[in-house]
Structure 1
Amino acid sequence: MFSSLREPNYRLFFVGQLASVMGNWMQTVAQSFLVLDLTHSGTELGLTVAARYAPVFLFGPWGGVIADRFDRRRLMFATQIASAVLAVAFALLIALGLIRLPMVYLLAIGFGLVNVIDNPARQSMISDLVSREHLSNAVLLNSITINAARVFGAAAGGVIAAGLGLALCFALNALSFVIVVVTLLLMDTARIARSPSAPRAPRQVREGFHYVARTPELLFPLLMIALVGMLAWEFPVSLPLLAGQTFHAGAGTYGLMTSVMGAGAVAGGLVSASRKHIGTRALALSAIGWGTAITLAAVAPTLPIEYAVLALVGYGSITFNSYGKIALQMTARPEMRGRVMALWALAWVGSTPIGGPIVGWFGQNLGARWGLLVGGIPTLIIGLALYPALSRLDRPAETAVR
């Protein structure tokens, strides 16, 4: 279950990600309620979340080319320092009472520009830190890290935002980026595998798209991830509306909702990490299960039942997300891995500029529960629709194993 942690460099990466994601969720909770405090609008909340991911949507494939061309550890140094500066700027503007909605948009776009490079560099760096036999386990444990950090980060963010102020959440996020820089400095560079660097050449972004288009093991998962990421993975929009409009609660309840989801995700990750073979068929099954759980969360009648169902939503989120990343990392050629993972980021979070406002509009105008239904039902449908194709792709791999 924890075999990849035998690798010393991956242990450091694991610790850094734990701190970084915890800070990020503190900031996510704080930013959601900052926007609601300024505007009282679900649509504006969706647009603000979209602004953070718009650069990934527009420039994500170029970030993959950079991740394939340059040293990923050095790229992460740059992205963590830039992110810390932006978080400090947020904290100061809020603490001084100067923050306005246009500033929130500008700073969110700044984080998005950093993520254009950070996402593919960070995701593809995992394969540089572990052997191939431990890669699947490392991807799963990285997802567990993200969700374990969500448990504490979101809960702490809700408490801090409600009791000590929003500015502190952003300041603590800045500190988390410093911790990542320290873990990168402590790594043994001699034990980091050097993937073949892509030479500077024309049409490298197009080459990445063509490579995926002619590789069904990459194309079908990416199509599924794009739809699900656009509509289902919009919880920073749908859950604050659900907490405020449906259950008449505030930041503390939203933080607890997110923490419950994180706890369910940790449980799902630990179960998945013990599996020896994870094929593309499992991705379709996880979409079916996750879509069902999100739909049930949309109709939960009381807050205690909502918490229970959100634990299942968290369980489904990590299985779907991790199985998608495993399918891509195990299939992609090393010299193309940065571009493939950039397309994963484009599909998973880069689609938010489209999905965030859609979910926010549904939640604002048709009721907060629709913010979840608009993601749950399509996730269930695409899982059912692509199950036959993904099952056929699994058979050659199973035959090869036997």
Structure 2
Amino acid sequence: MSEVDSTHPQNGRGSVFAALKVRNYRLFASGQVVSLVGTWMQRVAQDWLVLELSGGSPVALGVAAALQFGPTLLLSLWGGSIADRYDKRRLLMGLQVAMGACALVLGLLDVTGLVTIAQVYVLCVLLGCFSALDGPVRQSFAGEMVGSGALANAVALNSMTFNTARVLGPAVGGLLIAGVGTGWVFLLNAVTFVAVLIGLQRMRPADMFAYARAPRERGAIRSGLREVRRHPDVVLLLVLVFFVSTLGINFFVTLAIVARNVFGRGAESYGLLTSSLAVGCLLGAFAAARRVGRPRLRTVIVAAVVFGACEAAAGLMPNYALVALLLVPTGAAQLLFTSAANAAVQLGVDEQVRGRVMGLWMVVLLGGTPVGGPALGWLAEELGGRAPLVLGGAASVVAAVVVAGVWLVLQRRRRQSSGQSCTGTLASMPSR
């Protein structure tokens, strides 16, 4: 296996597509873009199926989201611990098979007319369990493919891949729902997992960048948490990500409600709203991929403020076209925020606990959804379909301002402590 080296010539620091110079990463990314198109098609189809089975209930949509993302709270840290101990490539292959099976079962139930809301909820839980394990393994696998020097670029390119699929998937999914129904969308998604398996199978393990495997030990998860506590900036990043993702990045709930309940439109219009957001995310990914080195906390805070302001403004737009238009800068700011935060967290901790730390990342990124999803659905029922966007955006801005204030206080204390240490050192020196 290759040694980890941030100056490796393959890393191409400063290049937008530096990580793609690595063969293993190219195989990974190509398989991901095919599978993720299917995943986003299923995301649209599942939301629409829940709304149809529930008579258009925003709360039912929020419950489905809570059930799918709830397992993240219980399993992501454990998944991160597994990622630090075992072969990540083989783990990912097994998890892709399991997630593909969930899509296959849901598709068969739907096309045969046997599907019920309870069955959808059960499959949401199962898919959530596999996704909770997949997240930290996949996130921490990037460093093994490209090395630390190109890690920030790989994170940005992962986001670019994700959002390229996010542009295509919802739009295609909306058209397929209108043409052939939700069931066939689920079945097509099951087939797309084959692309990921082929890419993972063709990788060369000898070309991976070597990291020391964590030993099997008691308290492995606690040791990962202790590593995070050693870095106050990383703690602040995770706190900010939790609040913004819980209250602001909940578009799988809010956009379906806006399309159907506010503007009275169909599945294809919901898909186009999601694609508008994804176009912005793709633009943000290009900008993020050009950044070199570990992003600063200041960059993450500014991106969170811009994101929240754009999201709140989108919720106030008077017609569908203006909402779709404003979702583009909203998506760009969202991507810059999550990509910069992800890279900063990974590069801010020791490599040996990176899997466990990314398990914690998945908890804060998705773990608030079981609360945020139903809460936003309730707000939509009580205050109207625009309320979740407006209030979620405003809450994101407030969270960023509070974290910025705490960060400034910590910076001031560090400078004072440093000054006192220097003064004490000078005072203790003998006079001539």
Secondary structure at the aligned position of 2:210 is classed as coil
Q: Is the 8 A contact 1:2 1:137 kept in 2?
A: yes
Give the whole-Å Cα distance in 2 for the aligned partners of 1:108 and 1:340.
25
Instruction: Provide the alpha-carbon RMSD of the alignment.
Output: 1.6
Residue aligning to 1:71:
87
Deviation of 1:315 (Å): 0.6
1:191 aligned residue: 207
Q: What do residues 105-144 of structure 1 show as CA deviations (whole Å, max 9, x unaligned)?
A: 1101011110121000000000000022211111001101
Shift of 1:390: 4.6
1:362 aligns with 2:367: no
Measure, in 1, the Cα distance between the counterparts of 2:408 and 2:162.
28
Alpha-carbon distance, 1:392 to partner:
8.2
CA distances 1:13-51 after superposition (whole Å, capped 9, x unpaired): 111221121111100000001000000210010000110
1:217 Cα deviation (Å)? 2.5
Query: Aligned residue for 1:10?
Result: 25
Q: Deviations over 1:217-249 (max 9, x none)?
A: 321111111111111121111110001111110
Matched, 1:144 2:183: no
Structure 1 position 161, deviation (Å): 0.9
Within-5 A mapping of 1:205-220: 205-220=221-236
Q: Is the 8 A contact 2:75 2:133 kept in 1?
A: no
Q: Which moved more, 1:289-298 or 1:205-214?
A: 205-214
- Hey, what's the Cα distance between the residues in 2 that align with 1:213 and 1:163? 52
Given that residues 9 and 129 in structure 1 are in contact (C-alpha distance below 8 angstroms), is that contact kept between their aligned partners in structure 2? yes
CA contact (8 A) 1:237 1:359 kept: yes
Corresponding position of 1:161:
177
Q: Does 1:45 align with 2:61?
A: yes
Distance 2:369 2:211 in 1: 30
2:327 to 298, 302, 310: 310
Q: Show the counterpart of 1:399.
A: none
The separation in 2 between residues aligned to 1:24 and 1:190, in whole angstroms, is 30
SS class of match (1:248): coil
* Aligned mate of 1:351, from 359, 365, 368: 368
Partner of 2:398: 381
Equivalent residue in structure 2 for 1:322, among 339, 345, 350: 339
TM-score, normalising length: structure 2: 0.89
Partner of residue 230 from structure 1, selected from 243, 246, 267:
246
Aligned mates of 2:288, 2:220 — CA distance in 1: 34
Give the letter for the 2:157 counterpart: L
> Is 2:34 the counterpart of 1:19?
yes
Separation in 2, partners of 1:240, 1:246: 9
Instruction: In structure 2, give the amino acid aligned to 1:254.
Output: Y
Give the SS at the match of 1:98: coil
Residue 320 of structure 1 aligns with an amino acid whose one-letter code is: F
* Number of equivalenced pairs: 396
The AA in structure 2 aligned to 1:309 is: L
Q: Name the CA distance, whole Å, in 2 between partners of 1:346 and 1:370.
A: 25
1:292-307 aligned at under 5 Å gives the runs 292-307=309-324
Contact 1:68 / 1:338 at 8 angstroms: preserved in 2? yes
1:56 paired residue among 65, 72, 82: 72
Misfit runs of 4+, over 3 Å = 388-396
DSSP 3-state at the match of 2:386: helix
- For 1:183-228, what per-residue CA distance to the aligned partner results, in whole angstroms no more than 9, with x for missing partners? 0011111101232111111112222222212321321111111111
Q: Distance in 2 between matches of 1:289 and 1:228?
A: 12
Query: 2:114 aligns to what SS in structure 1?
Result: coil
TM-score, length basis structure 1: 0.95
1:125 and 1:393, CA in 2 relative to 1: closer, same or farther beyond 3 A? farther
| Partner residue of 1:81 out of 81, 93, 97 | 97
Larger of the two Rg values belongs to structure: 2
Counterpart AA for 1:363 = A
Q: Which amino acid aligns with 1:174?
A: A
SS at match of 2:318: coil
Equivalent position SS for 1:200: coil
Question: For structure 1, which runs of at least 5 residues remain unmatched after alignment?
Answer: 397-402
Taking only the aligned residue pairs, the percentage that are identical comes to 37
